[in-house]
Structure 1
Amino acid sequence: MTSIAFIGLGIMGLPMATNLANAGHDVTGYNRSPEKTEKFKAAGGKAARSIAETVDGADVIVTMVPDSPDVEAVVTGDDGALAHAGAGALWIDFSTIRPDVATNLAARARDAGVRPLDAPVSGGEAGAIDGALSVMVGGAPEDFDAAGEVFDAVGTTIVHVGPSGSGQTVKAANQLIVAANIEALAEAVVFLEAYGVDTEAGLKVLGGGLAGSKVLDQKGQKMLDRDFKPGFRLQLHHKDLGIVNAAAREAGVAIPLGSTVAGLVGNIVAQGDGGLDHSGLLTEVARTSGRQ
């Protein structure tokens, strides 16, 4: 049994922490919103009232928070996790943040005697609940090996992709591909509806051919039903596409499709719909087509 401190019990973090507890680990959770900590207690975990209390004596520290500033806030400073972590503890950041921030924080962690891994995930809320996430991990190979039991409790595809920051770089590429697929699927759904096609049948046959994808499987019916209850919010995908575009500029790489989709996602977020699931990008396509 591993002692795990889990910081961030949101849409993704709560089921991930619960799966770790169900796997037999001793998990203590902390969240800035106390009601989410209470949900974790109800699911069988332990609750803490501060970051210091959460990480006290932990073998592994996990963070799963929305953005780069949030990670910096919970791990740095006198009240942060690094200041209270035990020597040799593993720190696994499942958040999606900027690669350069991940690299800088990893260096600070090593200076504090903590072993860092940036390990962003893909698979959405369903993957988090099922323990079937894809995990792309940056950091030292020996630290990756040491974290195996933690990764096995939350994911099914777990790959070490390089040194610190590499996991975040691969996640940025993932978010680029997912956004482009969601936009293409949204356009296809509006196109089929415009012609009065049986859309469920249409998506079924498309899913069996080269157009098939996990995006189509997971988001197609949500678009048909106009069910945009968030599994992964548009405002978070908007943040991620900002990371993609900034990293691409830094590398001197052109991503014309990525830039276009980022603009479309930015439009819908600016109109107040950032709380929708990212499949809600359909509403922007329908609005532009005059088919709301």
Structure 2
Amino acid sequence: MAQITNAESPAVPFSVALLGTGPMGAPIARNLIAAGVPLKLWNRTAHKAKAIPGGRAVDSPAEAASEVVLTVLPDLPQVEGLLDGPDGLVAGWRTGKIENPILVVHGTVSPVAVAAFAATCRKVHGVTVIDAPLSGGTIGAEEGRLSIMAGGPLDIVEGLGQLFGLYSSTVLRFGETGAGSIVKACNQIVVAATVTAISEAMALAEASELDLGDVQSILAGGLANSEVLRQKGQRWVDADFEGGGSAKNQLKDLTFIAEVAAEAGLDLPVSNSVRRAFQTMVSQGLGELDHTGIYLSIRG
């Protein structure tokens, strides 16, 4: 594991594009632009990229092709879909005569799949893939204090430290490509379990006719406090579960966790139980809600 030190100057010595200007990508883009980084932007829904002032919205991944391409997309198939065809990144890198480009995968993806993807990209296209999943949520993205857990060649990750530092407060490299996603799996075990535990506590409090805000005040004052409670506590109080990190994506992450655990020969009872709870929630048609909406499934 290596702590990546960020240089003081906000300028970066390479061209940069960001693909995927959703709830996480948009604030990352705004932080980069605010730091003076000339930034190409692309999003499948074009108006979302065009709505970010100061960036250069383009019409295709080929036009976005830069020395460093940041992808902030839900899963690896969406990243893979950016590469090929006349409008793809590979064509854009070729046209721009960009040698040895770097493709950063900021989404939460399968550690096994991203390692295989990186090997193929290096062999077939000469592209270095860095898996660099994020933690901190949309608030952390807005405030520029995300945590980045990176996997990939040490010199490449170190070279990206200055860029990463413009929207994160912690950058750690854990090994070769795929290692970052294993760390994110560890992170998501805690997040998913905490969201579910708070939801159970809130369901019990409501069933006992207690004030949810008051109960949360007690939780926040002791060992039960957490970043999940700080960022998302009001969702339970207001019964507002629209937007945010979706339950279907939480289930996707829990499925990756099961995959990695099986490869490691581990049985993770809490993760397995939480995964079943989210499977139930999604089967109830609630998968588009924020993952705190597991409360609705628990409450019944």
Q: TM-score, normalised by structure 1?
A: 0.92
Question: How far apart are the structure 2 equivalents of 1:78 and 1:240?
Answer: 32
Question: How far apart are the structure 1 equivalents of 2:87 and 2:144?
Answer: 31
What residue identity is the alignment partner of 1:269?
V
Match of 1:240 in 2: 253
Residue of structure 2 aligned with 1:90, choices 102, 105, 122 = 102
Change over 3 Å in CA distance of 1:76–1:263 after alignment to 2: farther
Matched, 1:47 2:57: yes
1:118–1:139 contact (8 Å) kept in structure 2: yes
1:82–1:114 contact (8 Å) kept in structure 2: no
Deviation (angstroms), 1:83: 4.5
Residue of structure 1 aligned with 2:35, choices 23, 26, 29 = 23
Match of 2:227 in 1: 214
Match of 1:168 in 2: 181
What residue identity is the alignment partner of 2:23?
I
Match of 1:118 in 2: 131
Question: How far apart are the structure 2 equivalents of 1:31 and 1:49?
Answer: 8
SS in 2 for 1:65: coil
2:69–2:104 contact (8 Å) kept in structure 1: yes
Question: How far apart are the structure 1 equivalents of 2:90 and 2:188?
Answer: 29
SS in 1 for 2:41: strand
SS in 2 for 1:272: coil
Which runs of 5 or more structure 1 residues have no equivalent in the other structure?
A: 288-292
What residue identity is the alignment partner of 1:66?
P
Deviation (angstroms), 1:37: 1.9
Aligned pairs for 1:161-200 within 5 A: 161-200=174-213
1:90–1:147 contact (8 Å) kept in structure 2: no
Residue of structure 2 aligned with 1:224, choices 237, 260, 264 = 237
Aligned identity (percent) is 37
Aligned pairs for 1:26-175 within 5 A: 26-40=38-52, 43-55=53-65, 58-76=66-84, 79-85=87-93, 86-111=98-123, 112-175=125-188
Equivalent pairs, count: 283
Query: Which structure would you say has the larger RCO, counting Cα contacts within 8 Å and 6 or more residues apart?
Result: 2
What residue identity is the alignment partner of 1:17?
A
Question: How far apart are the structure 2 equivalents of 1:270 and 1:38?
Answer: 35
SS in 2 for 1:212: coil
Question: How far apart are the structure 1 equivalents of 2:241 and 2:111?
Answer: 29
SS in 1 for 2:244: coil
What residue identity is the alignment partner of 1:105?
F
Deviation (angstroms), 1:76: 4.8
Q: TM-score, normalised by structure 2?
A: 0.89
What residue identity is the alignment partner of 1:279?
T
Which runs of 5 or more structure 2 residues have no equivalent in the other structure?
A: 1-10
SS in 2 for 1:160: strand
Deviation (angstroms), 1:115: 2.8
Matched, 1:261 2:269: no
Match of 1:290 in 2: none
Question: How far apart are the structure 2 equivalents of 1:202 and 1:32?
Answer: 42
SS in 2 for 1:153: coil
Matched, 1:11 2:48: no
Question: How far apart are the structure 1 equivalents of 2:214 and 2:151?
Answer: 41
Question: How far apart are the structure 2 equivalents of 1:99 and 1:84?
Answer: 27
SS in 2 for 1:281: helix
Per-residue deviation, residues 135-166 of structure 1 (Å, max 9, x unmatched): 11001111111001221112112111111100
Deviation (angstroms), 1:59: 2.5
Question: How far apart are the structure 2 equivalents of 1:53 and 1:79?
Answer: 8
Question: How far apart are the structure 2 equivalents of 1:270 and 1:125?
Answer: 26
Question: How far apart are the structure 2 equivalents of 1:125 and 1:39?
Answer: 17
Question: How far apart are the structure 2 equivalents of 1:236 and 1:150?
Answer: 27
Change over 3 Å in CA distance of 1:213–1:139 after alignment to 2: same
